[in-house]
Structure 1
Amino acid sequence: MSAGRSRSTSAASAATARPSVPGDVSALRTRVVSALVMAPLVLGALYLGGVYTDILMIAVGAGMAFEWARLTAGGTRTAVLTAALGVGAGIALFALDRPGWAAGVLALAALAAPALVGRGSGLRGRMWLAAGVIYLGAACLGFLALRHRPEVGLLLVGWLIAVVWATDIGAYAAGKSIGGPKLLKRISPNKTWAGLAGGVGSAALVSAPIAAAQPELARITWLPGVAGVTAAGAALALVAQAGDLLESALKRRAGAKDASGLIPGHGGLLDRADGLAAASLVLALSIGALDATA
């Protein structure tokens, strides 16, 4: 009788396990379809530049601010909308060549949104919200500043996007295949030191041929040739993964798996652009500082 029970239990377990395979396939299909729909729109807008990139960044910036505020504002709608509208308006003013006004609107939104949060959020929640408005707004302005650079804007953002994508792919592949010690288990349980190394190495490998094919990249970034661009790609990979960890900390604090469900199979805009936001800000500030001291 015990053998019969064992066989029936195994059969039941197998039957229970089988539905996960179609479920995984369905989830993968959803991710692929979403990517196939969104990637051409995003890349097309970035390639065309001008007003197309401006509109894209206004929408993305406002959307990321909306998600960030939802995770920090304790469900206060007025605070969430103030953060989203403030970031979107700041990006729009920057696109209209009003950088001073853009900075002022972002600062005002960073002050106003936390003031509208309900008492349940606490001081830390308000600080997270204010920091998010400034951080995301500045990151989007940095990306636009890079894309708006005459003649070389597309090269700069193309390299930046290639570095961030290579970082994500390399980190995932190395983390899954090698595993090993966790990077910051309390913040992001799935990230490993091997994944970090894989992301940095992949970003460097992508940067080298781009720099060799486009010598102009080293000049506009004030870097010493192919070796300098390769090293900068590795450094930006570290920045991108820091941005990823920042968003992981935000979601863990809020008890959320994803920033939102805006992109089927992928989560929210923050889930897709966290690394790119951090890398855009650092690259734009670095080139701007070097330009200013030249």
Structure 2
Amino acid sequence: MILSGKFNDLLPRVISGVVMVAVGMLGVWLGGLWFHLLIAACSGVMVWELVSMLDDRRNRSALVLAVIAGSALMLAIEMPISFALPLLLVPSMAGLGRMEQGGVTYAVYTAVILLAGYGMMALRDDFGLIWMFWLVMVVVVTDIAGYFAGRILGGPKFWPRVSPKKTWSGTVAGWIGAAGVGLAFAAATSAGSGLMGISIAVAMASQIGDISESAIKRRSGAKDSSHLIPGHGGLLDRFDGMLGAALFIVIVGQLAGLPTAAP
């Protein structure tokens, strides 16, 4: 009974997770315009959730800023990077004057959302299906390994003041799971064993993204970013880790590049 109580939210999480994975994988598989539209729509929804959490007014600003964010992302991916970067920051600038509270947090986190969205689009466009699938698998396995290890093993909390449920056992299990994904992809491609280290770093970035969103929720007094997804809360609750991972990939891609996926 004690063990089952630890997993009382598992069924809705699994059902919602299966639906999200199916939609996400279809978008990744199709690529191109369909994937761009999916990422832009998700980014817009996440901006809407962010504004709703930070600003108690709950007025049209959330919807307006969501539309601006999604539109900016769709335009940016069609432009050279030198013009795309300022365009990706337009939603952050546009929202500052509309926020009665949390303006700085909004501006910074909105920039993270859009840069991460741009990074995922560019990864799929420039490096193909394999590396987009690798990124998704690292984030998903990190989350799943952390979820089960944290509930089964328990132990010291990672940052109890911000996220009471996260444990060090779950955190380390996420790193181990990510290393396994990296090893599997290294064996299947020409990436080499160094991909294990990159995968662990991506897992860490994913966990930082997760804990950062938890800090925003804690500050705003919200349990979930929204109630769009049964068992998961909102898109920010589900994809906060992907934001951190994708932003990290944007940085790594500029500094060191990514390996090809040739067998």
The TM-score, its normalising length taken from structure 1, stands at 0.80
Instruction: Give the alignment of 1:125-274 within 5 angstroms.
Output: 125-149=102-126, 152-215=127-190, 218=191, 225-226=192-193, 228-274=194-240
Percentage of identical aligned residues: 36
Greater gyration radius? 1
Which residues of structure 1 form unaligned runs of 5+?
A: 1-16, 219-224
Q: Distance between the aligned counterparts of 2:16 and 2:174, measured in 1?
A: 24
- Give the aligned residue type for 2:246: S
CA deviations on 1:75-127 (whole Å, 9 max, x unpaired) are 34243234312220121112323545543333232122121123xx2xxx111
Q: What secondary structure sits across from 2:165 in the alignment?
A: strand
The CA RMSD measured in Å over matched residues stands at 2.2
Q: What secondary structure sits across from 1:189 in the alignment?
A: strand
Q: Which has the higher contact order (CA 8 A, sep 6+)?
A: 2
Equivalent of 1:89 in 71, 80, 84: 71
Instruction: Give the alignment of 1:60-99 within 5 angstroms.
Output: 60-97=42-79, 99=81
Q: Distance between the aligned counterparts of 1:41 and 1:127, measured in 2?
A: 33
Equivalences, count: 255
The TM-score, its normalising length taken from structure 2, stands at 0.89
How far apart are 1:254 and its partner, in Å?
1.0
How far apart are 1:39 and its partner, in Å?
2.2
Match in the other structure for 2:90: 108
Q: Distance between the aligned counterparts of 1:82 and 1:49, measured in 2?
A: 27
Q: Distance between the aligned counterparts of 1:163 and 1:46, measured in 2?
A: 15
Instruction: Give the alignment of 1:33-44 within 5 angstroms.
Output: 33-44=15-26
Q: Distance between the aligned counterparts of 2:249 and 2:88, measured in 1?
A: 20
Q: Distance between the aligned counterparts of 1:101 and 1:277, measured in 2?
A: 22
How far apart are 1:262 and its partner, in Å?
0.9
Equivalent of 2:31 in 4, 29, 49: 49
Q: Distance between the aligned counterparts of 2:47 and 2:186, measured in 1?
A: 33
Which residues of structure 2 form unaligned runs of 5+?
A: 259-263
CA deviations on 1:209-261 (whole Å, 9 max, x unpaired) are 1110112xx2xxxxxx22x1011111111111110000100111111111101
Is the 1:73–1:79 Cα contact (8 Å) retained in structure 2? no
Q: Distance between the aligned counterparts of 1:93 and 1:99, measured in 2?
A: 11
